[in-house]
Amino acid sequence: MAWTLADLVSQADLGLVLRSGNEATPVRWAHACDLPDPAPAVDRGWLLLTTGLALSAEDCPAYVQRLVRAGVVALGFGIGPVHPAIPDELAAAAHRYGLPLLEIPERTRFSDVLRVLTQDRVRAEEQGRLRVVLEQQRQLIDAAEARPSRRAVVSLLSRHLGAWAMVLTPDGRFLVGAPETAARHAELVGMELRAGPAGPRAFDVAGKRVTLMPFGATERTCAWLAVGRAEPLTTLESDLVDTALTLLRLDSARAIELLDAERRERRIVLDLLLAGRELLAERATDTLGLPFPDGDLRVALLQEDGDGLALLDLLENDRSLQVVSALVAPEPRGRAAVVVPDVQGILDVLHGVLSQVAGGHGVVSEPIAITGVPHAWRRLGMLIDAGSSTRLAVASDVAAEGVLAHLDSADARGWADALLSPLDQSGRIDLIGTLRTYLAHNCNGESAAAALGIHRRTLGYRLDRAEEALARSLTDPALRAELWIALRLRDLG
């Protein structure tokens, strides 16, 4: 049968309401799409279905004009979590340009409208495949309710299409993909994303035809979906991809809201720690289900050149920081705060995160008890802008460099050379390197020996040789401080 808008409205189970336009308008087919410009994805005589996810009030007139020019005969607008009602601006534009407007209730899926139209759309031999696609769409919608929903949707889409699929950031960084081998193509796809135009496009990678499509209504929610396989996608499979894109858009918007709420909660916990309310902070994390570090701690204040969101995102998603229950909280001026247990390798983890952002640098405290967090934090705030020769500096090092900056460089380096010269004459044993590592590990023999790759007794022997050369004992804190300053002066050059 040839369907009209009146026929669709008469389907009681759909619950459609014709808000404006001629009910005798014939409809050849329907297509669901939330892109700002869906014209390339539709044909003449089609009904377009949308939730208005990417549609703002000022865009409505131009949006309707594009649909009319593309030959769209009616617009079906799904009300629900995005828009509780049809926007007045859209209704006015539809009336002005003569585009019939259908209201689709929240309980009605777009796939239900498509199902009704398919009764006269496909041949008998295609109906089986259509039922499969509709079932796949239903499964995608169900997958969107899982956690993490983005990974679930991408995995299911990959399986249904017999293709690899991945989600990337706007700058081409791989986020999730399926199957596991999808990550092998991430670098090439990312290069194409960065080099190409801003809109959807297709290209070839490793013998696969790749379709690259953006999703996300705002800059913060923007991301890309890439699908690759040897055979081009059919019309029905493209509809399946469109369904996945819509679900990914909704998931991104929802994820941003949840993330902002969690960041505010983590900031509250940090403020409690900085106010010396440790017990209250721990109770708050129990109630909110947030991580809370214990044992000896380090506090870090980190910074990037941008607004801090890239740095914050990397810290929040770093697996090593998650494992040790680090507390990550936002700070103004492109900064982030981290309270983390003092475990082996944690400084390398923070250094690695900073190396991934433009202008990444920071200061981290020495190991402290939880009661020392307020004092350490005040000190970091004073030292973060003091400057350092390293990307991530320990607070004591920044302070030492600040003192050195006020010394006469020639005299200071002469003093440093005089102090270190007996160690330079030690022969084949690298006493300078041994002492540098020993002091950098806070004179912890076990961790210093591990870092040097030698036995602890060997480390002890080398330290004895260093004391003989210096004719002073390393148990003297003044000597250790002098040696560290001298080594720093030599590093600076």
Question: Can you read off the two tokens belonging to residue 219?
Answer: 């800059």
- Residue 255 scores a pLDDT above 80: no
Q: Average of pLDDT values for 13-25? A: 94
* Residue 426, C-beta contacts closer than 8 angstroms, at least 6 positions apart: 465, 466, 469
Q: Give the start-to-end residue ranges of the domains of the chain.
A: 3-118, 126-132+144-255, 291-395, 407-492
Per-residue pLDDT, 124: 43
Confidence tier at 391 by pLDDT (50, 70, 90): confident
Task: Indicate if the pLDDT at residue 406 is higher than 50.
Answer: yes
Whether 157 and 228 have beta carbons less than 8 Å apart is answered as: no
Pick from 46-60, 229-243, 288-302, 409-423: least confident: 409-423
- Does the structure show a pLDDT above 80 at 440? yes
Residues 300-306: what's their mean pLDDT?
Answer: 91
Q: For 178-232, how does the pLDDT look when each residue is reduced to its tens digit (9 = 90+)?
A: 999 999 999 999 998 888 777 788 999 888 899 999 987 565 558 899 999 999 8
pLDDT confidence of residue 205 = 86
Stretch 116-144: mean pLDDT: 70
Q: What percent of the chain has pLDDT over 70?
A: 91
At a CB cut-off of 8 Å and minimum separation 6, what does 62 contact?
A: none
Per-residue pLDDT at 487: 85
Q: What is the mean pLDDT of residues 321-334?
A: 92
Q: What is the mean pLDDT of residues 25-39?
A: 89
Taking the C-alpha atoms of residue 440 and residue 250, their distance in angstroms, rounded to an integer, is 49
Instruction: Write the pLDDT tens digit of every residue in 52-63.
Output: 988 889 999 999
Strands 392-394, 327-331: pairing kind: unpaired
Q: Calculate mean pLDDT across residues 92-118.
A: 92
Is-contact 168 189, C-beta < 8 A? yes
Rounded to two decimals, the pTM is 0.46
Q: Given pLDDT bands bounded at 50, 70 and 90, which one contains residue 388?
A: low
Over the chain, what is the mean pLDDT? 87
In angstroms, the Cα distances linking 210 to 168, 179, 182, 199, 462 are 13, 15, 12, 14, 59
Q: Does domain 407-492 have CATH number 3.40.50.720?
A: no
Position 387 scores a pLDDT of 56
The single-letter DSSP state of residue 120 is G
The CATH class of 126-132+144-255 is alpha beta
* Length of the chain as a residue count: 493
More confident residue, 492 or 449: 449
Q: What's the CATH class of domain 291-395? A: alpha beta
- Res 373 pLDDT > 80: yes
- CA–CA separation, 232 vs 330, rounded Å? 44
Residue 407 predicted with pLDDT over 70: no
Q: Give yes or no for residue 172 having a pLDDT over 90.
A: no
CA 45, 50, 53: angle at the middle one, nearest 5?
A: 150
Provide the pLDDT for residue 23. 94
- pLDDT over 90 percentage in the chain: 46
Q: In this structure, what token pair is assigned to residue 342?
A: 């003092």
Alpha carbon distances (Å) from 152 to 166, 178, 217: 11, 9, 21
Beta bridge partners of residue 288, listed in sequence order:
none
The architecture CATH gives domain 3-118: 3-Layer(aba) Sandwich (3.40)
Gyration radius of the chain over CA positions: 31
Query: Is the model's pLDDT at 101 over the cut of 90?
Result: yes
- Asked if the model's pLDDT at residue 51 lies above 90, the reply is yes
The tens digit of pLDDT for each residue in 265-297 reads 999 999 999 999 999 999 999 998 898 898 999
Rounded Cα–Cα distance for residues 160 and 171 (Å): 27
pLDDT of residue 336: 95
The whole-number average pLDDT for the span 461-471 is 90
Range with the lowest mean pLDDT among 37-51, 103-117, 215-229, 304-318?
215-229
